Amino acid sequence: SQQGEEDPQALSIQEGENATMNCSYKTSINNLQWYRQNSGRGLVHLILIRSNEREKHSGRLRVTLDTSKKSSSLLITASRAADTASYFCATDDRGNTGKLIFGQGTTLQVKP
């Protein structure tokens, strides 16, 4: 079963614009992670945010976490054509904290 839901399902922007993707989840978590997947490829880990953190940055990525709303957002600033990919949020499972539960993903297209 899938815990998270990403919104929007698809996003198309111009190079240089910012892209924001949202993720909502259902149960309490220890941490939330964001992954990127290029078409037909494996998943690449982007960032992990712990439940006691509210914001985290990595390069052009900014992740926020609101545990009261059970939601997270991923912001990609100054997007590039190479950012075109699917982005997934993943949360741990209370019964098995080593297990990742993924959402359906947001497909981002960055037009040059």
Partner 1 sequence: EAEVAQSPRYKITEKSQAVAFWCDPISGHATLYWYRQILGQGPELLVQFQDESVVDDSQLPKDRFSAERLKGVDSTLKIQPAELGDSAMYLCASSLDPDSGNTIYFGEGSWLTVV
Binds partner 1 by CB under 8 A, chosen from 35, 73, 74, 84: 35
Q: Find the distance separating the first CA and the last CA of the chain, reported in whole Å.
A: 36
Q: Which two tokens stand for residue 97?
A: 């904290």
Give the closest residue to 99 by CA, choosing from 20, 27, 21.
27
Nearer to partner 1, 42 or 59 (CB): 42
From 31-39, 53-61, 62-70, 73-81, span contacting partner 1 (CB under 8 A) = 31-39
Binding flag, residue 11, partner 1 (CB under 8 A): no
From 14-22, 64-72, 73-81, 100-108, span contacting partner 1 (CB under 8 A) = 100-108
Residues 6+ apart with CB under 8 A from 95: none
Helices and strands, number each (H, E), in the chain: 0, 11
Contact residues for partner 1 (CB under 8 A)?
A: 2, 4, 30-31, 33, 35, 40-45, 48, 50, 88, 90, 92, 96-105
